[in-house]
Amino acid sequence: MSANSTAGKSDGDDPSIPPNSAESLGSRIRDLDVDSIRRYLAQKLGFYEPSEPSTSVEKVLDEVNLDGIVKWMKSARCQNVITLSGAGISTSAGIPDFRSPETGLYHNLQKYNLPEPQAIFEINFFRQNPKPFFTLAKELFPGSFKPTISHYFIRLLHEKGLLLRHYTQNIDTLERGAGIPGEKLVEAHGTFYTSHCIECRKEYPLDFIKGIIFADQIPICTECPGVVKPDIVFFGESLPERFQHCLQEDFQKCDMLIIMGSSLEVQPFASLIDMVPEWCPRLLINREKAGIRSPLLRLWGMSGGLQLDEDSIRDVARLGECDDGCQELADRLGWGDELRELVAREHELLTQKGSLLNPHPPILEHSGQNVTAEKL
């Protein structure tokens, strides 16, 4: 299962929150005077031309396209790649995203008799009635799906010594199933791999709740009467401490950012694209353009978002299915056959095992959070 929904707000007074969040950008837009907005609208309608030409900015990439990205990644300048992923890298595994019409997870929750679809991931509703969540969890439990080409492309980046960190919105654990080391992962919206009692916080491994869930029962703590909940982030809960810790260390080191299968609508995850240095190239591999900086912000030189037009100096979009984009990028880098062989070999091993059995241990850092996630 993956998280890919509309942005929630973060605590604007917390200095550790990534810059250029939706809330801070919104306040900056509100500060624009009415006359400035009039000029902007007049220019869009062709009634007004700026008195001075805009200052040209030197391009980061020799060619602002996929060829330029490939050349950059083959150069000595590219040493620390960060990847960001959303639901789009897991849909080809058979895992639904959240909001797609007809096929999205929220569209198919009527059978659970919820007050609203999102209630299945709201902590207050869970405390009152955990049964719908555990019924859904049985359907989407880790081990039922195989990692995709996109997941193995990220693993290949690691094996090439280029992956600084992989940040994922997804809670399907397919990164772990693909063999990406735990120290390279930041599961921003939590994971099924560990669970805690919602009352006493006693920790439990995956195997503890798996048997109980598949027996159509609710896991109860062995120390108190509390319900044991997987460490996925519900609406109203905080993001993992590891998310905060790693982003403060990683993003200034980043010299190549790859965004894969994300709508870039969920805060604070979406604002991570603006934390890399201004000279760092950014590649979006997605079905459609996402995270684009608004023309109004561009007109007044405000930062925030991707620039995916003819004026771009570093941002490139490869539109289409994530698996196709990752395979094409691997082909251009000279890794195409290696990626195909890796996928075939690993899928065969998983078929022989019958499930994703005991990938490497998880990073156990879920408590002590200080960033809230209002929406998955």
Binding site for Zn(2+): which residues?
197, 200, 221, 224
C-alpha angle 120-261-374 in degrees, rounded to nearest 5:
35
Distance CA 40, CA 92 (A): 42
151 is catalytic: no
Given the residues 158, 166, 189, 366, select the one marked as catalytic: 189
Q: State the first-to-last Cα distance of the chain, in angstroms, to the nearest integer.
A: 11
Cis preceding-peptide flag for 268 (omega within 30 of 0): yes
Q: What is the 3-state secondary structure (H, E, C) of the chain?
A: CCCCCCCCCCCCCCCCCCCCCHHHHHHHHHHCCHHHHHHHHHHHCCCCCCCCCCCCCCCCCCCCCHHHHHHHHHCCCCCCEEEEECHHHCHHHCCCCCCCCCCCCHHHCHHHCCCCHHHHHEHHHHHHCCHHHHHHHHHCCCCCCCCCHHHHHHHHHHHCCCEEEEEECCCCCHHHHCCCCHHHEEECCEEEEEEEECCCCCEEEHHHHHHHHHCCCCCECCCCCCEEEEEECCECEECCHHHHHHHHHHCCCCCEEEEECCCCCCCCHHHHHHCCCCCCCEEEEECCCCCECCHHHHHCCCCCCECCCCCCCCEEEEECCHHHHHHHHHHHHCCHHHHHHHHHHHHHHHHHHCCCCCCCCCCCCCCCCCCEECCC
Residue 261: name the closest of 156, 136, 154, 143 by CA: 154
Binding site residues, as ranges? Answer: 197, 200, 221, 224
Residues labelled catalytic: 189
